[in-house]
Amino acid sequence: MNENDLYSKLVDLYAEHALPADMENRMEAAAANSPELAEEMMTLRGAVDLLHAEEAPEFTEESYQRILLKMYARGVELQTKRPDPIHLQYQLPIQG
């Protein structure tokens, strides 16, 4: 594996600002000699920065219900992974 292959595998970490400063400098120096690497680094970092700048969407109970209705309309059968609560397992006597 040559050095440019290594740098191309580190582009996602570069875009996230997760690399140490010395490694970022080495990648930027390598990008000066490789237009493909420079383009990938620039576009991915720009996209990540833009996504971080946007506010997170608000997830409300209404959103949850809308998603459930769409899933039911498409035929998805949902099953919970947790067992029934213990208090539902007792047989209660019928009062007469």
Angle (CA) 31 35 36, round 5°: 95
6, part of any domain: yes
**Interval 34-82: pLDDT, tens:** 999 999 999 999 999 999 999 888 889 999 999 999 999 999 887 767 7
Does residue 4 lie within any of the structural domains? yes
Q: Residue 6: its pLDDT value, please?
A: 84
Global pTM value: 0.57
**Number of domains within the chain:** 1
Cβ-Cβ contacts under 8 Å for 78 (sequence gap 6 or more)? 68, 71
Assigned domain for 85 exists: no
At 16 the pLDDT is: 94
Residue-level pLDDT at 79: 75
Query: Quick check: 11 and 23 in contact, CB under 8 A?
Result: no
Read off the pLDDT band of 96 (50, 70, 90): low
